Amino acid sequence: MAALYEGYTLCGVGPAQNSSISGILGIELGRDIDHVLVTDSSRSVTVYKVSDQKPTGSWTVKQGQIITCAAVFNTQSQEYVVVTDNKVVRVWKENDVYMERAFKATVSAAVLRVLSAADSEPVVLFCCGAVRFLDSLLASPQQPIEDVLAEEEMIRWSTVLKADHQLVVLFSTEQRGEHWLYAHRFNPNILVKHRLETEPCLSAPISFSARCRGSNIHLLYLYLNGSLYESVLPLRSSATGAEGVQALPRSLLLNLPLGEEELISGAAVMLDEAHVAVVGFPHPSAGHCKDYLCIWNTHFQTLQASKEMAGRIYSQLWCYSGKLYVPHGKMLSVIPFECQKSSLAATMGKLKQSQSESKSCSLLSSWTAQPLGDITQTPGIKSRMSTRNTGAGEDVQAEVGEFIRLTPQTDLQLATGRMALELVSRSQTDANFYPQCAFLQLLETRYLCYSVCPELLSLAMVKKDFHLCQIAFQIFPDIPEAVTCACLKAILSTPDSEIETVNLDTESVIFMKVLTQTQSGLEEEGGQQNGFCPPALESDVSDTPCSKLQRDPLALDMSCPVGLHKGALLNEVLQTAYSDKTLLPHLKDLTVPEVIVFLQYLLFIYLKYSHDAHKQIPALRTPSFSQIIDWICILLDAHFTVLAVAPEAKRLVSDLHKFVRSQVKLYAELGKIEGSLQVLKKSKQSEDFGMYSIEVIELF
């Protein structure tokens, strides 16, 4: 069995290179499984933190230069590597601001790709078929590069695998309708050439995928006619260095449906020994003109999971750490997936379950199939109800707690997801059934995420269960921007009096309580702190120091515009990961009063942070300075026109304007003394004149 979970957008995709290739040259793993490198076809390399859907670094080549292969991360040296203009190899570190200033070397032959495997030195594959380790190439960039391929023979696909603790470079080539596969091993250098079986009327494969399994390399290749073939390459054959060309038999794994229209692109990637992900081919039971991402079971020729993909599909698909990366239309989507052990019984829905799984299914069946009034008759459940609904909730909570305690850790992730889905489904169909405590128990396992049970947050909002929403915001790393905005709107539109009755995380409420009661040094003394002067104390036309200005008591009002509980919930929203481009259109769903209240709260908490009030409060989860500023900026971007003309927003916009102007003035003053500070930093230590001395330093 297999499942595709709720996806999210990682970034936009530039103009396509052709009908089968998007604007992305490649995607590679970064320094860990939560970071990926995205190389576009123009001039930039960007590192994204996948769980936050945010870029953490980006580098661009100069105008006139082009990136000609996907960048990779060297796990041994903790450096990035890319090739520009076919022959210039560039190496830089995370803290390097400009790629142009980093190390670069020009080699003597055109480079096709730089290939990287975990805990191994990157390998450079040249267009002529030659292979070099990166370090040995950079030690002598102009070393001669031999021609491995014949005339008119071109490389169509390449990868590197780690097998038997050694690297194996695989690349397929095409020459006048003939297709070949090369396997290059190191220590000693051995190159073996294989002939791929072809059919006279069949075009070249549109997609390749390879994995090392046991003592063999399994190669999958897909054709536009829907044929998915597998070839098995024994590792021992590539290690013997046999002379001549070796035959590489193939077997047909799957015939994919074609639909009515002619296909122009598609891709397949191997997920495990029984499952393959395919994009670009139609769903067997869906209408034409619709593109799907599908997971097929190759052992039993069955479709296991599918997800419709909007926009144009390309012959590109990547898979890293349980996530599929799919460029489609003008975006790059990340789709989490899960595959279970394959068997005919599982495929037909009759897999013999373990004891814990069987207990889970019996519980789910009891909760979903029976009327609420009959739940007390379920074997093994002893009801102690004072009322029918309360008793059912208590029984569910007790059974869920026992199940979590008895289920092995290896099975708990899948089991909690299934249980949450069924409980949500029951709650949506039965208005009297909502086991809040059971949901909280499942969340506390930390095995749930949004993509596993996407309806849970929506259900919590319908039920006005802000406690569950808060815990979900703390735990879920993959909440889509649309859901974040829906939760934000629900929080802002609910009266403070109603939210104040909700039981929230104690620490978050205490933080808000102390924050609203804490007086900054500015409020107590009427002066500046760390050079900061709030906009309320700044004159519109005068440069008189703010400590000498007459203060306006109303302008100095730094009271919190929302209740403590609402503020605690808003703080959770501020700490949620998001992509600016994706979040912006959803923020426009907020009404003007909601935007004004939210901006007032953001300004309030920023002023408190500016006076270091938050540092006086010990708390594990609090929004950062940069998160507050980012939300102010994106909220103003989304509602700038409305705020400019709305009469009720005039005072707030004016305060924000003064606030920004005071910040600009502060930074301008700091810029004036920057040169003097640099002189002081570089000046030599004065000679020791004894117990007392006076030194005159001239600042220019």
Q: What is the DSSP string of 170-205?
A: EEEEEETTEEEEEEEETTTTEEEEEEEP--TT----
310, 304 contact by CB (below 8 A)? no
154, 174 contact by CB (below 8 A)? yes
**Rounded distance between C-alpha atoms, residue 316 and residue 327, angstroms:** 7
Question: Phi first, then psi: what are they for 541, rounded to 5°?
Answer: -120, -15
Whole-number Cα distances in Å, 427 to 364, 383, 418, 452, 508: 12, 19, 14, 17, 28
Q: Choose among 387, 450, 453: nearest CA to 419.
A: 453
- What pLDDT shows up at residue 377? 35
The answer to pTM > 0.85 is no
- What pLDDT shows up at residue 699? 59
What are the tens digits of pLDDT across the range 413-439? 778 888 898 899 899 888 889 999 999
**Rounded distance between C-alpha atoms, residue 15 and residue 25, angstroms:** 11
- Strands 190-196 and 245-248, sheet pairing: parallel
Three-state SS annotation for 682-697:
HCCCCCCCCCCCCCCC
Judged on CB neighbours under 10 Å (0-12, 13-18, 19+), 697 is exposed
Regions in the chain scoring below 70 on pLDDT: 16-19, 199-202, 236-243, 260-261, 286-290, 342-393, 518-558, 612-620, 680-690, 697-700
- What pLDDT shows up at residue 371? 39
**Rounded distance between C-alpha atoms, residue 572 and residue 585, angstroms:** 20
Tokens of 426: 């029951």
In 10 A of CB 212, how many CB atoms? 15
